[in-house]
Structure 1
Amino acid sequence: MNIIAWNCRGALKPEFQNHVRELVQHHNPAMLIVMETRVGGDRAKEITDRLPFDEAIHTETIGYAGGLWLLWKSDRVIVKPLATTEQEIHVSVKLNDLSFPNIVRDAWGQSNRLNTTVEKFTRDATTWNRDHFGNIFAKKRRVMARLDGVQKALGERPSDSLVELEKALQRELDEVLNQEQELWALKSRVNWMILGDRNTSFFHVSTIVRRRRNRISCLKNSVGEWIHEEAQIMSFIREGFAKLYTTSHLEAKLHLGPTSPWQATLSDMERDSLYEPVTVEEIKSALWSIKAFKAPGPDGLHAGFFQRFWMIVGGSVVEEIKKCFETKKIPEFLNKTNVALIPKIHSPDLRNTHIGL
């Protein structure tokens, strides 16, 4: 992996952006560190958005000096921000599995329609995950058993080949442990950057506790009878939400009465702006305002997936969202969602003691 660090002595120079593109073309870096840019804030973002990197972190300048930028390509490295000051940027960096971005490119390369690309990617990613990783827990047990056998053999009959095999198995075990950590951290939905590295037992317990707390084993129906069968519970909850969000009114008359001086109103400029087409910047800003690994929709894709592979998938996302604003209709595949019931009280027994999200 190539990383370039450059003291540019000012990023507002006319040749700066061309110089960056030339460096990328000749050295193909995954990350670029630019020092003494002397530019911060929104102006820094405007410049980095035009450079051949899809992610960036900026620091503020110190008067007319300083300004540190870290830029990277999200399809090649995973960068987790840790801390930032005016003079320092602290991050953790992990190399991506280079085969996975190819799955994304292949799915989005055949069509630009979001629904068909997501369906193809989901199928291909499932196959890739099974072939590439398999069962992480079974792999961990298998590697640990082999490592234990090698270490016992080393104690009885030391040899160079066994030492090399032990090193290879240790590297493989470290990789599997990292995968296990990421799996449980994702399932537990807690901030692993705060809680420390490879705290797998904590993540595992967090996941199990949350699942038990949120599990609905039985509910009382409207006449006070207990429902135990999963299919009946699902039907009862679905009917309740269908009634909640259904109305018998076919139309409603718009009545605009006189406005009071204290009433909030839109200016002519604000009102006119509502008719303007949605921009790429607005769509991207809305996407990046979502936490990366919050609960995904029925397609299983987190917001972090679209953020990380924006350079590949962004075009189809923008096209679909613009179409929604133009037609004033949301397609059925985008309107699908998972309803999760969050208990409002301890040990709830009725449908109305849950909050639907």
Structure 2
Amino acid sequence: MQKDIKHKKKMLLHMNGNEVSLEWNKVRKIEMELDDLLRCEEVFWRQQSRISWLKDGDRNTKFFHVKASSRRICNCIRGLFDVGDAEFSEEEVKGALFQISSSKAPRRDGFPVDFYKKILGMVGEDVTKLCLEWLNEGRSMEELNHTLLCLILKVKKVEKVSDLRPIVLCNVIYKCISKALDNMLRKVLGSIL
């Protein structure tokens, strides 16, 4: 098909370059044949692209992996500023920790919130540093972002979802970060609404 297209184009150039040529019917016929060949080529390439898509479209190809990875990077929060465009401070993190209601049940890390509140003098610097790294620098906290959900029976024979009491066990550090974000959003949303 490519050879035919090249041949027809050469013929047209030769005939159009020749000023004395009066074979207009022949020129018109070659132009129509060239148009048909170009349409056939377009259909061929459209079919080839569909074949490639059907063959590779649903695979985890490098193309799709790059697209998904770049989207994940765009959706990642690298850092947050509070209302006054300032980074989160140690005081805000410690305040968030003390706002978390004390619980008798330990969190997923095995320690209740009261434990952190009581030994804040010893581990406070490490806890606030860890929280601030996530809040201000966007450090990955995948190891902290795990929650355990337990369903406790309220009655002996469960028939409805309301017969279950959900208990959510989150890491205290995760709860502290969430509370600091909650406090910041309350300030922002209060001024917007």
Q: State TM-score, norm by structure 2.
A: 0.37
Larger RCO (CA under 8 A, 6+ residues apart): 2
Which entry has the higher C-alpha Rg, 1 or 2? 2
Q: State TM-score, norm by structure 1.
A: 0.21
Structure with greater proportional strand content? 1
